[in-house]
Chains A and B, each alone.
Chain A
């Protein structure tokens, strides 16, 4: 078996492994690096459950070889929380009930993080277009849109305390 050395920066930490050239990035992350937050939902780049950020750009890691992105900065769902504080997108999904079974959620949130990085105040239509490559079977997208809007508000105002949710919200910290 021919292997090749791959070095990625995953969530800020360098990670090197000797892998087969055919190893998919999603399997590198899940099986080699042990980061199982990135999920697999299809084999055809259709569902987006495997979405991670590659050098800041959302990419579907189930149709990308690990060797293809040698040297890249990878950000996964595990890298969203910083110093014990949730990313505004994570907080938005919690406050606005943007997830049910949670399986599509990591990929969905990574797409949202990339969107808000480029466009801090997206319209509903812009949000829907941005997440159109991420399938969710549970939520009907309504609350996902609200979650991303919440995160946008929070990031724009850079408040430290939770901003009011659009949905009636009660109690609880994630």
Chain B
């Protein structure tokens, strides 16, 4: 009954990507490639002021320009009840302002025109009269009593948004009171911007006859957006279709709902024409969601022998003018309380205060797993700080304090239950592979010659795969995810998933999961996602949750199919289902491997010869609610050389040993790590968004905001250990953000290590040549 088949190539194979053939030929379908009949173009008038009253908007000149059909203002939206929209964090944000702007480049009005260039002309013809107000850009000043109020619309007349804490304050204080050693450091993790190479945009189209609203949108979470749009607009949910087409990078920046999406939708409803809105780069950089911006004060208590005991962290979080972060509802500071890291601590206490300032919404994302980057930076810097204080090797302090393999599942001082880990093994592998002892010898020699070389370590723990529905939701929607599999009669299959790829390669890896579970060739499995009319409901792709949650749903759905297949196989082989075993990708009679049927045979039978009394067909759906999060981890070692004449930090070597559990596709995992490392290096060396005292952004284009090029980016070295997640159906953990989370402190630690003998104990990122050169000058180590 069996026939020759192409190879299965399921788990663990570097299968070439199914999505590449279209991208390589320039045939991807990104949102700006969507062109609908009768389509109009939208462009946005933006505020030159960070804080101002709007006195008047005169659109007459713009409307007089041939080709301009409409100018939409906040007053127009207000009449429809749409001038404000809810954020994901129980706040609200302006779609278009009625009477005031609260950050520079805020959307003020929108122009609809027949041509892209006409719309761009017209925005310069909209006369907006402003009355400038004093802005507040420093979150510390924002908390002072006489600070300008960013959000007078709120009942509470303060710029303080919320206070959040985790851990045990009393126990932590008690340990600090009797601690032998306390190290303390203030760390600022600057505001940064994801800057996916594709900006954001949409094409909104309304069909008056069917009543259906279709929006092609650069979104990482199409289903949640559909629900929110329905709730806000009153349009029935079955009349809204969100299509997330090919996405040119997301990294979290495409999770939020931006005003442009909403205005374009309103314009489509009003004009009856499809409306295209595509940001240009300067709009994207100035106005879209920002990440980080944490002012952290950290203290670590330890014994003189290097045993770490307690951690105390106080943080001011600059959220800009609206709290529009994309964290799970109960976690306004994300998963920042993972900041005890890979170490055994008796106690910890973490406090975060969210603050409004006259800047665009911050705290959203930058490939960061819900604030884990800030957490990892804090603990990995503080461990080095402790080692420096005690004059011991930072590798030794880490080894001494690691949670040990036999302690898993491990309950952390802030309440997380780490599912699995083997920190000493992974770190040992990294130390051996890079030749740590030899590097230290080389460093000593160079230091004696006056050369600056540093070795930095980061042994981080990630926390991803949100999440268990008892704890995790976004706007009340539980953070499960989903998969629907349909096996066709001839043994091929279609798989639809609730998550959405922005380059991760889901069309390939999710096919591999099904191939592995069902024994069908990966080439015969097609994966679809991103269309809310066809894909099962899911919360989307961010925070490294696709494989931990939707990947699990895919395996479980496939196993449901396999269970039904067992009964069909028993029928075909005329044996009891219990006499069958699943081996070699087929059902075979126990002890008689020759007597077997493949999934292809079973699929055909499911439609042509299924047992009487059984439903025909072979399909299943699963909505997977993970029992816990997963905890990927890694050991990173960075070697830098610093030029005393310029302050330039050169990464000579960077080794990343990652453990993300069982791997679906090693080629894709390696690619994810390469990219994550580069986005970890970026804020460590290059990227930061700053504002002047008037709230003017100082990096509004790629000439000033420096993304890593091929020249700064080193040839990353990678390796792995495999500690499967005990609760995930196939032992995977997620990997998309590990490297972004783990890399920055390795680099910062390497720089401080290079300068430690001069008395330097800390440098805030980005460690730019200018900053380094200043430090060298202060310590008399600069070459003229």
Contacts and interface: CB of A to CB of B under 8 A. Distances in A.
A121 interface: no
Nearest to A142: B674
A51 interface: no
A171 B521 CA distance: 12
Interface of A: 20, 22-23, 27, 30-31, 35-44, 46-47, 49, 76-78, 80-81, 86, 90, 93-95, 97, 99-106, 109, 124, 127-129, 131-145, 167-172, 174
Contact of A86 (B24, B250, B282): B24
Nearest to A92: B24
Q: Quick one: which of B250, B251, B668, B707 has the most chain A CB within 10 A?
A: B707
A144 B24 contact: no
Contacts, number: 197
B198 A43 contact: no
A38 B24 contact: no
Given A137-B249, A142-B715, A170-B14, A44 B701 contact: yes
B607 interface: no
A138 B198 contact: no
A172 B715 contact: no
A23 B116 CA distance: 11
B21 interface: yes
7 contacts: A42-B701, A97-B668, A100-B249, A140-B713, A141-B674, A170-B13, A174-B16
Query: What secondary structure prevails in chain B residues at the interface with A?
Result: loop
Nearest to A106: B26
B675 A100 contact: yes
Nearest to A86: B24
Contacts of B195: 137
Given A22-B117, A102-B503, A38 B14 contact: no
B666 interface: yes
A31 B116 CA distance: 10
Contact of A168 (B9, B14, B280): B14
B667 A99 contact: no
B20 A94 contact: yes
A97 B511 CA distance: 17
Contact of B15 (A39, A76, A172): A172
Given A102-B23, A132-B711, A171 B16 contact: yes
Q: Using C-beta atoms within 8 Å of the partner chain, give the interface range for chain B.
A: 35 or more
A31 B117 CA distance: 12
Nearest to B503: A101
A132 B675 contact: no
B111 interface: no
Q: Quick one: which of B13, B24, B198 has the most chain A CB within 10 A?
A: B24
Nearest to A95: B16
B650 interface: no
B45 to A, nearest CB: 17
B440 to A, nearest CB: 27
B691 interface: no
Contact of B251 (A76, A104, A124, A137): A137
A41 B197 contact: yes
Interface string B9-51: 1000111110111111111101011000000000000000000
B671 A143 contact: yes
B429 interface: no
Contacts of A109: 24
Contacts of A44: 281, 701-703
B283 to A, nearest CB: 9
A97 B251 CA distance: 19
Given A101-B198, A129-B710, A137-B196, 12 more contacts: A36-B32, A39-B32, A49-B197, A93-B20, A102-B28, A103-B196, A137-B197, A137-B675, A139-B678, A141-B713, A169-B16, A170-B15
Contacts of A169: 14, 16, 667
B524 interface: no
Contacts of B248: 39, 41, 101-104
A39 B21 CA distance: 17
Contact of B20 (A22, A99, A135, A171): A99
A44 B707 CA distance: 13
